[in-house]
Every structure is written in C-alpha cells, then in structure tokens.
Amino acid sequence: MSSLNHYDLIIIGTGAGGGTLAYHLAPSGKRILILERGGYVPREKDNWDSQVVNVDGHYNTKESWLDSEGKELHPHTNYYVGGNTKFYGAALFRLRKEDFGELRHFDGISPPWPISYDDLEPYYTQAENLYQVHGNRGEDPTEPAASAPYPWPAVSHEPRIQQLSDDFAQSGLKPFHVPVGVMLDEKNPQKSRCIRCNTCDGFPCLVYAKADAQVLCVDEAVKHSNVTLLTNSLVRRLETDASGREVKSVVVERNGSLETYSADVVVVSCGAINSAALLLRSANEKHPRGLANGSDVVGRHYMGHTNSVMMAISKCPNPTIFQKTLGVNDFYFGSSDWKYPMGHISFVGKLDAVTLKAGAPAIAPNFTLELMAKHSLDFWLTSEDLPDPNNRVTIGRDGKIVLTYTPNNLEAHERLQTKLKQAMKQTNCKIHGHECHQGLFGRNLYVGQRIPLAGVAHQNGTIRFGHDPKTSVLDVNCKAHDVDNLYVVDGSFFPSSSAVNPALTIIANAMRVGDHLLERMGVSDTEMAMVGSARKA
C-alpha cells in the first residue's frame, strides 16, 4: 500500500457525527481523510418541491433493506455530504439531565448513560454555537441548566401558532419556542440568509441557510489543506491486523473499483444502521460475530423513537409558513394522573395537500385534502422507545441490511396523543370559541399516523457505549472496547433514546470525542488553543 494512502485519521460519513468531527479536528494539522458514500445534494428548484421530495422520495436512497419477515423496505434516509442533516428539521434539543440517568417507563427501564449531563454540557454549548441554534432559555420546563444563552433569539411564532401557544398557556401548559438551527436574522430580514420558507423540515435548503453538517462543517473542514474529502466512496469493509486489535485497512468502493486506505485512527460515522452493518460485514477470524462485537451487542438495541404526526383540524385556517416553532414538554416525565414519561410534542413543517396525498390520511368529513391542509395544525409527537436487544440490525440475503423492530412503550405514546387531544379541546378561539376544535374533535378529525419502520430518521442505539465490554461496544470515549484504533461517533452510541430529537446530542458528543482524539494524537496544548481560537474566529 502506498504511504500516500495512509492518514493520521479517517472519518467515514459526513453527517451530524462525522461532519462535526471533521470540522473539530481540521485545524489540528493532522492528515485527515473523509470518506462519504454520497455526493453533494444537487442545488436545484426540486429541492423545494413537495411532490419531488415528499411524494417521489427523489433524494432518498434507492437502496432496499429487509424487515424481519424478509419483505423489502425502502428506508427514508439520505446519503449525501452532510448526511441526514441536509434534510432534517433542525430542531436542536439537549437531552434532559434526567435522560442521562435511569428512568422508569411504563414498559420498563430506560438505562443510564456512562456520562452525565454535566460531562456533555460544555459541548452542548459549543454545538449550539456552531449550529446557530435559535431559542429562548427558561421557557421549556424540562430544559436542563445551560452555561450560556442560545446564540440567537428564538424563531418567532407566526400568528396562528402564537394563538395556540397563548391558548395552551391559558390552560396551564408551558409551551416554549423550539430551538432550531436556521440562519434566520429576524432583525435584519433583508440580510438574513434564511428566508423563512415552508419547505424546510424534510427538504434540503436551496439557499444554504439551514445549519447542516455540510454547510457548517464539511465545507469549512476541507478549506484546510490537511483534509481530503472523497465523495461517492462507499466503505465496504474494515480489515484488522493479525492480532485483531487494530484496523489496518479501510476498503472503499469508488469509481467502480476497490481502493484501500489506512490510518492510525479510524472513525466510523455512517448513521446507526449503516455503522452497525459495516461492523457486522467486517467480521473476520478474530472477530467472528462482526468487528468489535465480542459482546454480541453490535446491531442490537436499535431505537428510532415512537413518532407520529397528528393533524388537528380547526375551523380557523392555519396560514403558517414556518410551523416548527412551538413545543410542549409538560408530559415529558409524566403527569399528575400517570407517573410514567410520555414524551414530547412539537410540530412538523406545514403539511400541504400534495404531501397529504402521499401520506393518505383518512379524509376528515366535509374536508378535501386541500382544505385539510389549509386548516390543519400538524403536530409531531415523540415518545421514548426502550432498548430491546431483539430490535436489531443484521445482514441478510445478498448482504442486505435487515431491520427487526417490535415497537414498545406504546402506552406512553397513546397517552401523549390523548393529552394533546385534551389540550386542543381547551383552546378557545375568538370566532368559534371551544367549538373551533372541540366540535371537530367529536367527529374524530384527529388523524393520527404512526411513522412506519422505513422512517428511520431518529435511528440510534446499535453500537452503545458503556463501561462494561460485556454489555457495550464502545467505551466512554466511543472507542471500541475490542479494537484500539476504532471509534464511532454517530447516533449509534446512545444507550437510551430519550424523547427529544437526537442530532444536537450526536453533534455535541462528536466534539467531546474530538477533544479526546486531539489528545490521543498528541496535538499539543498550544495547538489545541489554536484550535479553540480558530473556532471563535
């Protein structure tokens, strides 16, 4: 192998984890190779077309996986520079402090993390700064203490959402502004990069104003001459030396042939499902169950949240453009009538008739899809799913990914839906009073749709970190217990999934692991300080 193909560090995948890590390490001067299976999302008008994006699934991978019964499934996931952050809704939450400890749920135990909230707090602050999170501290009753304010004020509610927020507050709830990573400057609209449009959540941003891992991290990292990015480079296997303790080569399919690269340190960050698949496919004599899988935990404990979209139809129209500004966490840890955690309520981007056709909700009586879309408030509900070893990623026929998943903790989600229905009944509009929602609710106009298995947006948990090599794959620094130079920094390290969106935690953890790697690679304190000042500049 040519020494030109040897690097100090290889990062595989450029999403929330890998992209952020590349940004964090780039100023170190170390030779870094980034391998990404996708290319750049093409910038084209289709980026903002709901037919193309939501109905045709144009940007989704065309790869097919299998479910436990061997049926094909077409995952709603995206392989591009920036990973799924190109398409995410950019709701950037910290886990709650309690999420790091053990939590008793109706269906069982949500296990503790091997690090505490305080360990991650400084990195959450860095992550919020890097991803330009807009929010207001102190509104969300479950929010953990933070060492700094959000770098930007919250994205304001549009009138319909403000009215709902007021209604919720009047009924005793504590609605808050969702922290979001969009480059919106409401004080200087003419200069604002973000134009506050209705095609954000689930769409790539045509004007590069979403805080995603490509725009903020990878594009910045590759400005450093020590960083090389190879796109359309699919990592097929990791091979170890004879001892099995070191990854010695990374086998990449590129331009139709196989190439081999090596590095002192190899970081996998392909997303929770693909990272597990890569380790499983890299089985060898020393690692017969898959690379770093002495524990038999690789691929297990797959979690993806129990999510649903609930449309509440009102007599009043909802002309909101950017809907994802309001959240309710009053039921996150339970309520006076049910002591178990239920989860988190917020919004998806405003649904339109084109998208509704694809989702095929039951049509509300006397409403066309057009009318439903004009009158709906489109809620996004998230409940924690618990780590079950039988919910797992395996490799099936033809080397395809097999995703086996039996939902759990559903009672929590159903109760969360009921809480939302009750809260909506109490809204009191100026024109229709309680009837604006209540009457409609009576005729069953809430259309609840559970997100199906193919919806793997919040995938996590398949390569969990922990202290015990018997029950976890990674140590607290996200280094494989069984391999000395292998790390994982995507969503797979989660031992439990919490009920808030995962990306900010993946980003913060990548920065934490990044600091560990700088130390491991012997980047001196002075150089580290330079990294720090480069960040601030």
- Residues interacting with ligand SF4, by CB under 6 A? 182, 194-197, 199-200, 203, 205, 207, 209-210, 322
DSSP 315: S
Q: Nearest approach, Cβ of 355 to ligand SF4 (angstroms)? A: 15
The residue type at 481 = H
CA-to-CA dists, residue 66 to 63, 73, 408, 438, angstroms: 10, 5, 20, 42
Picked from ligand FAD, ligand SF4, none, the partner binding residue 506 (CB below 5 to 8 A depending on kind) is ligand FAD
Q: Nearest approach, Cβ of 459 to ligand FAD (angstroms)? A: 7
Q: Nearest approach, Cβ of 377 to ligand FAD (angstroms)? A: 18
* Cβ proximity to ligand SF4, 48 vs 338, nearer residue: 48
* Cβ proximity to ligand FAD, 197 vs 371, nearer residue: 197
Cα–Cα distance measured from residue 527 to residue 524, given in angstroms and rounded to the nearest whole number: 5
Residue 71 burial (10 A CB sphere; 0-12, 13-18, 19+): exposed
Q: How, if at all, do strands 257-268 and 6-12 pair? A: parallel
Picked from ligand SF4, ligand FAD, none, the partner binding residue 530 (CB below 5 to 8 A depending on kind) is none
Q: Nearest approach, Cβ of 84 to ligand SF4 (angstroms)? A: 15
The position carrying tokens 């391999």 is: 483
The residue nearest ligand FAD at its CB is 15
Picked from ligand SF4, ligand FAD, none, the partner binding residue 194 (CB below 5 to 8 A depending on kind) is ligand SF4
* Cβ proximity to ligand SF4, 128 vs 167, nearer residue: 128
* Cβ proximity to ligand SF4, 201 vs 388, nearer residue: 201
The residue type at 450 = R
Picked from ligand FAD, ligand SF4, none, the partner binding residue 16 (CB below 5 to 8 A depending on kind) is ligand FAD
* Cβ proximity to ligand SF4, 197 vs 363, nearer residue: 197
Q: Nearest approach, Cβ of 317 to ligand FAD (angstroms)? A: 25
Q: Nearest approach, Cβ of 211 to ligand FAD (angstroms)? A: 11
Picked from ligand FAD, ligand SF4, none, the partner binding residue 36 (CB below 5 to 8 A depending on kind) is ligand FAD
Token pair, residue 52, equals 């193309």
Q: Which residues pair with 7 in a beta bridge?
A: 263
**DSSP H/E element including 7:** strand 6-12
* Cβ proximity to ligand FAD, 33 vs 270, nearer residue: 270
Cα–Cα distance measured from residue 219 to residue 310, given in angstroms and rounded to the nearest whole number: 37
Residue 396 burial (10 A CB sphere; 0-12, 13-18, 19+): middle
* Cβ proximity to ligand FAD, 12 vs 313, nearer residue: 12
Residues 6+ apart with CB under 8 A from 172: none
Picked from ligand SF4, ligand FAD, none, the partner binding residue 282 (CB below 5 to 8 A depending on kind) is none
Cα–Cα distance measured from residue 127 to residue 11, given in angstroms and rounded to the nearest whole number: 19
* Cβ proximity to ligand SF4, 193 vs 520, nearer residue: 193
Q: Nearest approach, Cβ of 90 to ligand SF4 (angstroms)? A: 7
Residue 355's φ and ψ, nearest 5 degrees, are -70, -40
Picked from ligand FAD, ligand SF4, none, the partner binding residue 196 (CB below 5 to 8 A depending on kind) is ligand SF4
* Cβ proximity to ligand FAD, 175 vs 349, nearer residue: 349
Q: Nearest approach, Cβ of 473 to ligand SF4 (angstroms)? A: 35
Smallest CA-to-CA distance from 311 within 206, 217, 437, 170 is with 437
**DSSP H/E element including 136:** none
Cα–Cα distance measured from residue 190 to residue 188, given in angstroms and rounded to the nearest whole number: 6
Cα–Cα distance measured from residue 353 to residue 368, given in angstroms and rounded to the nearest whole number: 9
Picked from ligand FAD, ligand SF4, none, the partner binding residue 207 (CB below 5 to 8 A depending on kind) is ligand SF4
Picked from ligand SF4, ligand FAD, none, the partner binding residue 322 (CB below 5 to 8 A depending on kind) is ligand SF4
Picked from ligand FAD, ligand SF4, none, the partner binding residue 205 (CB below 5 to 8 A depending on kind) is ligand SF4
Burial 129-168 (b: 16+ CB within 10 A, else e): ebbbbbbeeebbebbbeeeeebebebbebbebbebbbebb
Residue 25 in contact with residue 220, Cβ under 8 Å? no
CA-to-CA dists, residue 134 to 6, 137, 323, 537, angstroms: 40, 10, 14, 20
Residues lying near ligand FAD in the complex (CB under 6 A) are found at 12-18, 35-38, 79-80, 83-85, 87-92, 202, 234-235, 269-272, 274, 278, 457-458, 490-491, 501-504, 506
Q: Report the 10 Å Cβ neighbour count for 25.
A: 30
* Cβ proximity to ligand FAD, 23 vs 80, nearer residue: 80
Q: Nearest approach, Cβ of 299 to ligand FAD (angstroms)? A: 14
Q: Nearest approach, Cβ of 428 to ligand FAD (angstroms)? A: 30
Q: What is the DSSP string of 34-50?
A: EE-SSBPPP-SGGGG-H
